[in-house]
Amino acid sequence: MALVTGAGRGLGAEMAVALGGAGAEVLVMSRTASDLDQVAARIAAAGGRAKALVCDVKDGSQLRAKIGRLDRLDVLVNNAGMNIPEPFVDVSEAHLDEQLALNVRAAFLVAQTAVRKMLEAPDRRERGGAVINVSSQMGHVGSAGRTVYCMAKHAIEGLTKAMAVELAPHNIRVNAIGPTFIETPMTAPFFANPEFREWATSRIPLGRIGKMEEVAGAVVFLASQAASLITGASLVIDGGWTAQ
């Protein structure tokens, strides 16, 4: 059983579909039922199994109610997040609080609630569990106009390492993924601007923007037994951005 947050659209939806295609029963979670129903239908149409869980991940009581009633949980993809690009000196307290509430506080609560459920499984030590925190290449570097986002994703990288060390005795692996700029419906308007596309691609040694399936493939790998000795790692899917 795999849970994907922020699964209603974009990367979250593609990661959920990929996990369904790999044989997992997928729980897709976001605040919008209509989006989740579409993703669940895609998974079912491909022969997979999926269930929609409408939940605001910023609400701890909702999380505990939704996840707490599950029979079991084996994989968490902790994906819900946001970004408000703007100059550092212009960041308002409202924007600061909004981003940290979702990107850090909610990510922590989702992980904590999911791991509590994983620990309940009687066969936990044998089967283990996997947590995949969705970070960013910006969790490894800095970037103008993205100070709050960089701060939040650096926090996720630290959380990943600490969780990995603490949960290893329970056979629960915890890793992060760090995508570069990815072509999604949400980013399409930005990449329609030739200057922005040139700025992004010029910093990626492979010379192109990433595709959603490339990120989804990394998630399937980290969730699988092929990654059974990998924990506390951050897999950057960045075309070489952070290697410079």
Which residues are designated catalytic? 149, 153
Residues with Cβ within 8 Å of 61's Cβ and at least 6 positions away in sequence, in order, are: none
CA dist 150 → 8, 17, 77, 84, 147 (Å): 24, 28, 20, 11, 5
Collect all residues with Cβ–Cβ distance below 8 Å to 125 and sequence separation of at least 6: 170, 171
Could you list the beta-strand ranges (E) of 2-101. 2-5, 25-30, 49-54, 75-78
Measured distance CA(79)–CA(99) in Å, rounded: 14
Listed residue (72, 27, 77) closest to 52, CA to CA: 27
